[in-house]
Amino acid sequence: MLFKNEAEREFNVSPVTSPQMDALINKCVMIYRGHPAWVNEEDHIRTINFAKTICEETARLTTLAVSISVSGSPMGDYLQKQMDKCYFNLRKWVEMGIAHGTAILKPNGSGVDVFTPADFVITSTDDNGNINGIIFKDSYQNGQKYYTRLEYHRFESDSVYAISNRAYVSDSQDDIGKKIDLAKTRWSMLLPDAYITKENGERLDSPLFGVFSTPDANNVDSSSTLGLPIFSTAIEELKDLDIAYSRNAYEINISQKITLLDDRLTQKSGMKIGDKQDIRLPKFVRNVLGSSANEFYQEINPQLNTETRKVGINMYLSFIAYKCGYSNGYFVFDEKTGMVTATQIEADQQRTIQFIKDCRDKLENCMGGLIYALQIMAELYGLAPSGQYEVEYGFGDIIYSYEEDKANWWKYVVNGKIPAWKYFVKFESMTEEEAKALTAEAQPEEPTLFGKEE
């Protein structure tokens, strides 16, 4: 937060996001990190960090079998190499955006940096709510010194895109410190102020970064361009889930059988009465003082309410799933049983399918902005010649069933709809030549005129 105050003073700007949004995002980030406010060690309330699970699953489905293809020119080839470099970070970046509500991807000269709301200040948006003014924070430590850079992006006129860099040094990571020259930092190659236009002097098509945000409308601050953390409307249910799970776990932990045993039963023949407390008993045995005429012995077997508690836990999971965009029943406490076909999944999970499609649309938009920023940087620094290019996106089918697909293809072969060799190529890992040879070998030879084979 200290860097945000300095950014406002240095560049004479004001943030367009509200304190309410900042507070909600901070609250959700703590939950995502596994530190919700309701954890109570004395009351045996723990967290299973299900918010993290939701974000992981959403990122997994959003980036399932994702492909980004850039082609059409040497510039396209250069951009494809950049996409290949960051391919294995996509799922992680999407998860960060899902958890924080917004994540911004920006070229850094050698790769791509990702920023969450804690590391940027939005200063202006256009009429459609798109960010066109923002200050990023970058930092590193060298010995006992902490270095911070503020990078301010904005459109200064109808045609000029401006980037300003300011550096600071401090003895503490909690303080931005005093301003220093960029030349005294690892950012010495950067200009304090740079101004960019197209070669023909026209305005850039978009800012030099890509924005990924969650698809739902912001009901905390309707004027904010920030997205809501995906589980922000399910915080109360996440709390209830943790309490229900903790109660169940605690009950299991203390459910060991207990045997109450009269102390006279531990007395060995000939042993002094004062020595009986020295006898080591099993952990589950409790020695009680016998005072009646008859010796006392009782076993206590605590009754577990696990099955009843599962019903409650699954109820909370259903609420959480629906509030986070998933279909009812997507998350359950124990395994689903039985065969489920892709058709059944599609019918049951329409809400999930639409939600993931919306997230994928947001990812495409973000990557489009990032690719454009990489193109402009490549042209500015002569990394690739200017040229037109095309971008194609591909995603895996979240309802795809391999076994069902395989069975359907074989049905097509049996019914003569497709040649058998195509089936062998697709499902048996054969080359086209191997599959065709196998198919030809399996065909019976044509009989001769007199019914004998030659």
Tell me the domain boundaries of the chain.
Answer: 2-228+354-394, 256-301, 405-442
Contact 20, 64 (CB under 8 A): no
- Rounded Cα gap, residues 139 and 148, in angstroms: 4
Q: What is the pLDDT along the chain (454 residues), one digit of tens a residue?
A: 678 888 889 999 999 989 999 999 999 999 999 999 999 999 999 999 999 999 999 999 999 989 999 999 999 999 999 999 999 999 999 999 999 999 999 999 888 999 999 999 999 999 899 999 999 999 999 999 999 999 999 999 888 999 999 999 999 988 899 999 999 999 999 999 999 998 888 899 999 999 999 999 999 998 899 999 999 999 999 999 999 999 888 787 766 667 666 555 565 655 565 555 556 666 656 666 555 555 565 666 667 677 778 888 889 999 999 999 998 888 886 655 443 444 444 556 888 999 999 999 999 999 999 999 999 999 988 899 999 999 999 998 877 666 777 888 888 888 888 888 888 888 888 888 888 888 888 777 666 555 555 4
Listed in sequence order, the residues at least 6 apart from 33 whose beta carbon sits closer than 8 Å to its beta carbon are none
Query: 18, 356, 369, 4: which is closest to 218 by C-alpha?
Result: 18
Given the structure tokens 């009901």, which residue do they identify? 219
- Rounded Cα gap, residues 103 and 118, in angstroms: 10
Contact 214, 97 (CB under 8 A): yes
- Rounded Cα gap, residues 238 and 249, in angstroms: 16
- Rounded Cα gap, residues 71 and 371, in angstroms: 12
Question: Which token pair is 171?
Answer: 């003895």
The backbone torsions φ and ψ at residue 449, rounded to the nearest 5 degrees and listed phi first, read -60, -35
- Rounded Cα gap, residues 240 and 431, in angstroms: 54
What is the signed CA dihedral for 47, 49, 54, 59, rounded to 10 degrees? Answer: 180
β-bridge partners, 262: 288
0.85 exceeded by pTM: no
